[in-house]
Structure 1
Amino acid sequence: MFVHRIDEELALKLPELRDAERIFELTDSSRAYLKEWLPWLDFTTELKDTQSFIQSGRGNYAEGKSLGVAIVFKGEIVGMGGFNDIDGSNKIAKIGYWLGESYQGNGIMTRVARALTDYALHELKLNKVEIRCASGNLKSRSIPERLGFVQEGTIRQAEWLYDHYVDHVVYGVLADEWNK
């Protein structure tokens, strides 16, 4: 099982089925907040949806395709993050993340994104890490900017969010840039 300790209060872990209830509860309690920028909330309406997500994620992790982790803050799951896609051929990982509304403002996601970037570039020996954010999602965009990622461009109408398209800003960092 994957467990990665970031610091004394923060860790990442591969979620297990027994975590499904907490993850679903967190999703449900933050639903209105998360729905502004995440497209999957309408497809996560029951506990079984979260259970299926966990099982699928564990399978993708075993195949080296992705790594979805629960973010554990002071012993409690407070969000999810990880690599939505690991492209082994091109040595690129794409980070995704979300945090329960009541856990915002603690620097959690910056530490998570830093740890995931370190893991991708040092442990997995990848060459590049990308973070894509909706252009209007300034909180999410501040994370790669704070970590020194380079803004590489904008993908127009990259994602359908319930009733409209949003553009994605693409940020990237290369291994040799991160190591400096």
Structure 2
Amino acid sequence: MLIYRINEEISLKAFGEGDAEEFYHLIIHSKDYLKEWLGWLDSINSPNDTLRNIQAKQKEAAENGGYPISFAIVYKGAIVGTIGFNTISKMNKIGSIGYWLGEEYQGSGIMTLTFEFVIDYGFKMLALHKIEVRVAEKNDKSRSLPKHFGFAEEGRLRQVEWLYDHFTDHIVYGLLAEEWIR
């Protein structure tokens, strides 16, 4: 199992099939909280749903030369969220990062540390030219991450995501490899 240690308490690991149950319970425990910004939660009804998602992530890693593009965020030994590339255009060398944390882990700096690692991983390991982040317009917490790391606000995608009872706009942020100084 591939694991990247961020610090003594936080690591990122490639999802394994054995993570399905724990990941399912994290989603269900934070479902009401996460529904404000994630439109896919009603499709998760059992650990088998998270298992199928994990199997898709494993297939993506195999197709990407063994490099995973999505990770479980592990804090003090427990899965507390996920971060990775929702899409990668190999031809254009552009990746789009997605991320979320369980409700009780918000505000502790976990996402800031893992987000920085994934940017670095995308540019150095995946040889991306550009990394994008697409965030719901009113999701100020998530919008603060790309801003913190120097991403440029590149535009707005109007009514691009259905969130249960309404459409929401996304703000698009981008960072080029030559702009990443770490």
TM-score by length of 2: 0.94
SS at match of 1:7: coil
CA shift, 1:179, in A, is 2.5
1:69 maps to: 71
2:139 maps to: 137
Letter in 2 for 1:72: V
2:154 maps to: 152
- The answer to whether the 8 Å contact 2:14/2:68 transfers is no
1:167 maps to: 169
Deviates more, 1:1-10 or 1:138-147: 1-10
1:85 maps to: 87
SS at match of 2:108: coil
1:39 maps to: 39
- The answer to whether the 8 Å contact 1:154/1:168 transfers is yes
Letter in 1 for 2:149: L
SS at match of 2:12: strand
> Which 5+ residue runs of structure 1 have no aligned equivalent?
none
Letter in 1 for 2:62: A
Inter-partner Cα distance in structure 2 for 1:120 and 1:155: 23
CA shift, 1:109, in A, is 0.8
Inter-partner Cα distance in structure 2 for 1:102 and 1:4: 23
- The answer to whether the 8 Å contact 1:20/1:50 transfers is yes
- The answer to whether the 8 Å contact 2:22/2:79 transfers is yes
- The answer to whether the 8 Å contact 2:135/2:171 transfers is yes
- The answer to whether the 8 Å contact 2:10/2:75 transfers is yes
The answer to whether structure 1 residue 23 and structure 2 residue 1 are counterparts is no
* Identity between Structure 1 and Structure 2 (%): 51
What's the CA shift string for 1:136-180, capped at 9, x where partnerless?
101110111111111111110111111211000001110111137
What's the CA shift string for 1:71-100, capped at 9, x where partnerless?
011211100111111111101111101100
SS at match of 2:154: strand
2:57 maps to: 57
Inter-partner Cα distance in structure 2 for 1:145 and 1:115: 16
CA shift, 1:8, in A, is 2.0
Inter-partner Cα distance in structure 2 for 1:60 and 1:119: 16
Letter in 2 for 1:161: L
Inter-partner Cα distance in structure 2 for 1:92 and 1:3: 24
Inter-partner Cα distance in structure 2 for 1:48 and 1:38: 19
SS at match of 2:159: strand
Runs of 4+ in 1 over 4 A off after TM superposition: none
CA shift, 1:113, in A, is 1.1
What's the CA shift string for 1:109-157, capped at 9, x where partnerless?
1111110000011122111111110001011101111111111111101
Say how many residue pairs are matched: 180
Inter-partner Cα distance in structure 1 for 2:8 and 2:92: 34
